[in-house]
Structure 1
């Protein structure tokens, strides 16, 4: 009997990439508490920096008891990793929707649309993304980074495969497109902070993407 490898769905990939929580929120109230903790964490992180961010303050800003914090995550690193995952996952979902809306279009048009979405989404929350990119290297294990990388490359591959004329080297083009976008955006925020010059970055990335797509 021949075994066929079935690729995981987008939902399964996101589930595999998600940091482990102590308790999975099932009720709407529980999900609201976990969401409030994540939002409070980002707020306190931007106001005080990670070294001065405490469980007590994050819980107070979220409007939940300290005990509730520990029901869902083990420590501050765990909450930070969860916030990073949620930001990455939300952006991935937006990219999938944009790619689906561009099926059958020219591959350069698809690439330009995905690039614009990423730049605009990150720029709207530049301070948060800048802080989370810095934390990613501290709190996210290498396996999580690799899963996120594969997730985004798969998004690019599916988007370009659905173009009117897919690039001749589809796998290489998808990998390079993600590396160009993620690398340029993350390095701009890491080196320049929230004031990164996205207006200057945009045409440079557009030209690089056009060249790699052939």
Structure 2
């Protein structure tokens, strides 16, 4: 089966609830299998079996496993973005350091819930994502961090700080840790160090340079 088209283009777009549940079962099966074996060893037949659908039905939705992988990553990141927007809205009008602290705690807690799945997906994302997809995702998350800064009551007190740098610091450390030492996310020391990193950056604005 060819996967030359965009990996995010579905062969069959789910409209009815039953179709949406089928797609969700396929994506869930893929992630469960990815934790157990390498992406290279996964087959469409494996995914269909775990998802509880026929192989023909699986191909009705996705042209191949790369498409399934791309959708898994896309949906996870989209859900993170949606959650972050809600968290920012809840903290609107609070001091910037309080907003950033709240976001850090929630982001780390979200990833610490299923570290094995996140670790497997992040490794895979490095293998299959092209620069266009990465840039689009990067821009979307930076936009959310910018909205968090703008929502604070004291944004003017941090004139030289960059939401892009905060994003790079948070996700650089977070994803590196998930790939190399995922269990660390469940340790209080990890959150403490992340707070030191980001809040320390905010507190030395006179030495910061806005690079975005």
- Shorter-chain TM-score bucket reads 0.7 to 0.9
Which runs of structure 1 show a deviation greater than 6 angstroms over 4 or more consecutive aligned residues? none
Output one character per residue of 1:79-108: Cα deviation in whole Å (capped at 9) or x when no partner.
Answer: 111101111111111111110000000100
**What RMSD over aligned residues (CA atoms) do the two structures have, in Å?**
1.8
1:12-23 to 2 correspondences below 5 Å: 19-23=8-12
Count of aligned pairs between the two proteins:
196
What displacement does 1:52 show? 2.1
1:35 aligns with 2:56: no
> For residue 39 of structure 2, what is the aligned residue in structure 1?
50
Q: Distance in 2 between matches of 1:23 and 1:151?
A: 26
1:3-14 to 2 correspondences below 5 Å: none
- TM normalised by structure 1 equals 0.86
Alignment gaps of 5+ in structure 1: 1-17
1:203 aligns with 2:192: yes
1:36-115 to 2 correspondences below 5 Å: 36-115=25-104
Select which of 89, 92, 106 maps to 1:117: 106
Q: Distance in 1 between matches of 2:80 and 2:185?
A: 20
**Greater Cα offset, 45-54 or 136-145:** 45-54
Q: Distance in 2 between matches of 1:207 and 1:19?
A: 38
1:106 and 1:163 in contact (8 A); partners too = yes
- TM normalised by structure 2 equals 0.86
Output one character per residue of 1:4-38: Cα deviation in whole Å (capped at 9) or x when no partner.
Answer: xxxxxxxxxxxxxx922222211111111110000
> For residue 126 of structure 1, what is the aligned residue in structure 2?
115
**Greater Cα offset, 105-114 or 66-75:** 66-75
Q: Distance in 1 between matches of 2:37 and 2:94?
A: 45
Output one character per residue of 1:103-137: Cα deviation in whole Å (capped at 9) or x when no partner.
Answer: 00010000011111110000101000000000001
What displacement does 1:198 show? 4.6
Alignment gaps of 5+ in structure 2: 1-6, 204-212
